[in-house]
Structure 1
């Protein structure tokens, strides 16, 4: 098979798996009545698949890489909707920015601490 066609088909298959997990996550959240977005549920399902070894992270690397490279496109609709709320941003904008800044900082700190703890744990448990 042509290598270009093979890579394209593999990329499409990986994207289909990721989309399927997203849709399944949304469906599970709807079935259980949980107020959790489908994307978060899909990521939880993906984590379970990775943790159990059912799927290797390298299996979805191309599809995830493409989505990560184009991530900015996913935020454009949210940014454009801010134009509808100009008065809210003028009156409460500083509070919104404060929440965004603090939550971003918190995510970065928790991620760094988690990575550090996992690295230390792996070093202790290496053969």
Structure 2
């Protein structure tokens, strides 16, 4: 029960942080999405040890595990724009396949690099 409450608290903390970053981008009229700014700021805060990984790790892991659920609304939204798929379906599918391969390759390379760095630190 304590772990669940801790995870919920961390998710709330991450959501509040995201809302703050979105508002900051809106107020300052920046062209960068608030979510991206939030990721950069959290990365900097983690690297400078201003916040500790334990403070957000459980909530972040849960959000990543459930990431697929966040794509369902966009998949349903595609149905609304069938005319685009009829006119440009082959190009859209090509871009989706190409971008998926690019994301998978970059993720694999990054995960491999992180795993090697962890191995070197533990040795």
Structure 1: runs of 5+ lacking an equivalent: none
| TM-score (norm: length of structure 1) | 0.77
Structure 2: runs of 5+ lacking an equivalent: none
Tell me the alpha carbon deviations over residues 76-97 of structure 1, each in whole angstroms, 9 at most, x when there is no partner.
1111111111111111122112
Residue in structure 2 matching 1:73, options 69, 76, 80:
69
- Tell me if 1:40 matches 2:36: yes
Residue in structure 2 matching 1:105, options 98, 101, 106:
101
Report the RMSD for the aligned CA atoms in angstroms: 2.4
Tell me the alpha carbon deviations over residues 42-79 of structure 1, each in whole angstroms, 9 at most, x when there is no partner.
21121111111122323322211221222222111111
5 Å-filtered alignment, 1:81-120, equals 81-117=77-113
| Higher RCO by CA contacts (8 Å cutoff, separation 6 or greater) | 2
| TM-score (norm: length of structure 2) | 0.79
Q: Distance in 1 between matches of 2:41 and 2:5?
A: 23
